[in-house]
Amino acid sequence: MRGKSVLLIIGGGIAAYKSLELIRRLAERGVTTRAILTKAGAEFVTPLSVAALTGEKVYDDLFSLTEEAAMGHIELSRSADLVVVAPATADLMAKMAYGLANDLASTALLATDKTVLMAPAMNVRMWESPSAKRNFETLKRDGVLFVGPNDGEMACGEFGSGRMAEPHEIVATIETALGGEGPLKGIKALVTAGPTREPVDPVRFLANHSSGKQGYAIAGALAAAGAETVLVSGPVALAAPANVKLVRVTTAREMLAASEAALPADVLVMAAAVADWRPDIIANSKLKKSTDRVVPLIRLVENPDILATLASGGARPRLVIGFAAETDDVLENAVAKRTRKGADWIIANDVSGDVMGGDRNRVHLVSETGIEDWPEMSKLEVGARLAARIAEQFKET
């Protein structure tokens, strides 16, 4: 990415503050940014913040003689290697879909000869409205690239799709857009994440502390590297990463069925903390305390081992990666697990601390050829490094 340049159009949405972080992250990667701040965008972030971060003047006026004299709007629209719209509001998307050009941002979008990447951000109802959907389809047909929007809680308090993609997701998409094809282009990836819940009765279940963060980070990194990615997830409080197909499940048996349905895949990453056991019988009605204080006895039966099943099945992915969550003898257990489950690699992590639910992880990659110790890093970085390692592996074979 080093030496490339981006024209960033900042629309008027609460997510505009994330665009400041985006500029910073691009600068760290040696990408220069010129910014157009719309009138509405300037209600959310100040021209001074944008100018300080880009190190350039901020463009905001189509009808300014002095600006036109310095760099005309046509020249500006073509000055960068890529045009990025973040946040792409419903208004900006509509203008571009219809070819309106009544301010600097919309004029630049109509005049540019470069690829445009949009990161939509709006309320869920707006995103799901027929007109926004229509504009989205039109823009995609016209060759506009998209990152997000993600699911999650909105600034307005509602929940759903319409949150702007995170800066690191936008950067990864920009990287792919600038560099042509991602290293995992053409590869199909299946990732599982989160816990499974095994019902006891209509109101209770057995589960574990898995937050899903590591699996979601891996799925996001694989998608950002160009892989067509399916994420089968147990119940977690996370938004789907950008450009990932999310399949939500509850129990281990549902996770197995959804994973089998997602095959064939080139690579499987089993990051889910699958419950090893489930109650033998699920009570149809809520279990009640008895007057004689006899506690219910819950008999457990073993769940299918999804990793072992997929690793020995007919549609075995070329690269099968499992996790080993251990509290003791981490490496010995991981090495044994690799052969027992028929996996190619095992990512071993010590979960005796606050790894489950935390944002950082320290893992070891156990393969046929040995053990790689990775330093402690964020779960997002583990995801990116694993995606890069997978790309390397596919390049070799």
348 lies in the binding site for ligand CTP (CB under 6 A)? no
For residues 326 and 334, the answer to whether their CB atoms sit within 8 Å is: yes
For ligand CTP, the closer CB: 195 or 226: 195
Catalytic residue among 52, 71, 155, 156: 156
Binding-site member from 8, 82, 116, 272 for ligand CTP (CB under 6 A):
272
For ligand CTP, the closer CB: 108 or 325: 325
- Give one word for 342, left, alpha or beta, with left for phi > 0 and alpha for psi -120 to 50: left
Stretch that binds ligand CTP, among 30-38, 103-111, 266-274, 363-371 (CB under 6 A): 266-274
Tokens found for residue 117: 């990447």
- Residue 127: burial class (beta carbons within 10 Å; 0-12, 13-18, 19+): buried
198 lies in the binding site for ligand CTP (CB under 6 A)? no
What does the per-residue mask of binding to ligand CTP show for 297-326, with x meaning CB under 6 A?
------x-xxx--------------xxxx-
349 lies in the binding site for ligand CTP (CB under 6 A)? no
End-to-end C-alpha distance for the chain, whole angstroms: 27
Residues 6 or more apart in contact with residue 170 via CB below 8 angstroms: 22, 84, 86, 117, 119, 147, 148
Helices and strands (H and E) in the chain: how many: 14, 21
Q: How far is the CB of 307 from ligand CTP (least distance, A)?
A: 3
189 lies in the binding site for ligand CTP (CB under 6 A)? no
- Residue 289: burial class (beta carbons within 10 Å; 0-12, 13-18, 19+): exposed
For ligand CTP, the closer CB: 154 or 252: 252
Q: How far is the CB of 220 from ligand CTP (least distance, A)?
A: 18
For ligand CTP, the closer CB: 181 or 302: 302
212 lies in the binding site for ligand CTP (CB under 6 A)? no
The b-or-e profile of 258-278 (16+ CB within 10 A means b, else e) is: bbeebbebbbbbbbbbbbeeb
Give catalytic status of residue 135 as yes or no.
no
230 lies in the binding site for ligand CTP (CB under 6 A)? no
What does the per-residue mask of binding to ligand CTP show for 325-344, with x meaning CB under 6 A?
x-----------x---x---
Say how far apart CA 286 and CA 279 lie, in whole Å. 14
The alpha carbon of residue 284 and the mean position of all alpha carbons in its chain are separated, in whole angstroms, by 37
For ligand CTP, the closer CB: 117 or 324: 324
Residue type, position 220, single letter: G
Q: How far is the CB of 273 from ligand CTP (least distance, A)?
A: 6
Q: How far is the CB of 360 from ligand CTP (least distance, A)?
A: 19
Q: How far is the CB of 303 from ligand CTP (least distance, A)?
A: 5
The pair phi, psi for residue 15, each rounded to 5°, is -70, -5
Say how far apart CA 366 and CA 30 lie, in whole Å. 34
Where on the chain is the footprint of ligand CTP (CB under 6 A)?
Answer: 252, 270, 272, 274, 276, 303, 305-307, 322-325, 337, 341
